[in-house]
């Protein structure tokens, strides 16, 4: 698969998508207590941009998400990165081209994946949002001097050969968990509304019922003799739901990376729960 870039083969893959709520900032914290070689398989049911997946690079991994366009893109990159790269090379990087490409509908899986990657890179903050008809409707993001990392798409594809990729709900994704597995759980949540309107705002992206379903899933993970790491908003209701005897809770502060060019980006807290 990497015959055209064999000289570059030793480089590690990194996330090929921008993703709101991504966890690149969390890598150093996880390195303090996680050695991926100690676990029997890795599972990430809310994969998003895959920052932690590509950081750990487990040799046996199961990833999933409810976002079908996202999962279809991972599958296409896994199967045929060369076709996707060739399509991306032919796309112009300007505002008019962005809206033209956004308006198109493709049937070919590799054209659809190239479109997804292109829109992700040039949209406002890499946000994924669709209208009531399922059409992507994020505006142009005015990124300056951006160039695609085509080599990385090949690195990602090479790594994904050892990854099982599924479009499904997080509960359905846990059927492959074994004793000693590690499950990284990063459900969608807002941090800007941690203390003000958190419950109401999150109903739109990951409801309170979903949080309780996730708690039940964690109980099953523990019953199976597996290990979990959960990130979530630092809100009293979240703590009430997920606090468990003998498990660890850490409150981690970080700078918000979501917002407009002129927005105020302050410090926000997030919880990390784990039985490691």
Dist CA 119 CA 105 (whole Å)? 13
Predicted confidence (pLDDT) per residue in 209-263, tens digit:
999 999 999 999 999 999 999 999 898 999 999 999 999 999 998 754 444 333 4
- Residues 18/116, Cβ–Cβ less than 8 Å: no
Count of structural domains, the chain? 1
Predicted confidence (pLDDT) per residue in 146-184, tens digit:
889 999 999 999 999 999 999 999 999 999 899 999 999
What is the pLDDT, as a whole number, of residue 11? 82
CATH code (residue 199): 3.40.50.150
- Residues 137/98, Cβ–Cβ less than 8 Å: no
Q: Give the range of the structural domain holding residue 236, as residue numbers without chain letter.
A: 3-274
Going by pLDDT thresholds of 50, 70 and 90, the confidence category of residue 22 is confident
For the chain, the maximum distance between any two Cα atoms, rounded to a whole number of angstroms, is 55
Dist CA 272 CA 70 (whole Å)? 25
- Residues 229/42, Cβ–Cβ less than 8 Å: no
Predicted confidence (pLDDT) per residue in 72-117, tens digit:
999 999 999 999 999 999 999 999 999 999 999 999 999 999 999 9
What is the pLDDT, as a whole number, of residue 247? 97
Identify the weakest region by mean pLDDT among 44-58, 141-155, 256-270: 256-270
């Amino acid at each position: 698969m990497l015959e055209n870039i064999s000289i570059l083969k030793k480089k590690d893959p990194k996330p090929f998508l921008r993703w709101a709520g991504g966890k690149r900032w969390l890598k150093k914290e996880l390195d303090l207590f996680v050695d991926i070689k100690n676990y029997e398989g890795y599972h990430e049911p809310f994969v998003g941009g895959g920052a932690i997946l590509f950081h750990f690079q487990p040799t046996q991994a199961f990833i999933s998400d409810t976002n079908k366009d996202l999962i279809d893109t991972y599958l296409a990159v896994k199967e045929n990165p060369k076709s996707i790269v060739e399509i991306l090379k032919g796309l112009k990087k300007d505002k008019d081209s962005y809206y033209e490409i956004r308006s198109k509908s493709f049937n070919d899986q590799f054209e659809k994946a190239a479109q997804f990657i292109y829109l992700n890179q040039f949209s406002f903050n890499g946000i994924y949002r669709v209208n009531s008809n399922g059409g992507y409707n994020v505006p142009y993001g005015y990124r300056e001097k951006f160039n695609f990392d085509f080599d990385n798409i090949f690195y990602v594809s090479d790594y994904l050969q050892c990854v099982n990729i599924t479009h499904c709900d997080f509960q359905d994704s846990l059927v492959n968990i074994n004793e000693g597995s590690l499950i990284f759980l990063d459900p969608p949540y807002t941090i800007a509304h941690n203390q003000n309107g958190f419950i109401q705002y999150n109903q739109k992206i990951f409801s309170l019922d979903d949080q309780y379903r996730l708690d039940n899933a964690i109980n099953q993970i523990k019953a199976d003799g597996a290990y979990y790491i959960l990130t979530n908003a630092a809100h009293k209701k979240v703590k009430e739901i997920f606090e468990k005897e003998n498990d660890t809770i850490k409150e981690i502060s970080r700078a918000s990376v979501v917002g407009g060019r002129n927005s105020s980006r302050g410090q926000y807290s997030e919880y990390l729960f784990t039985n490691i």
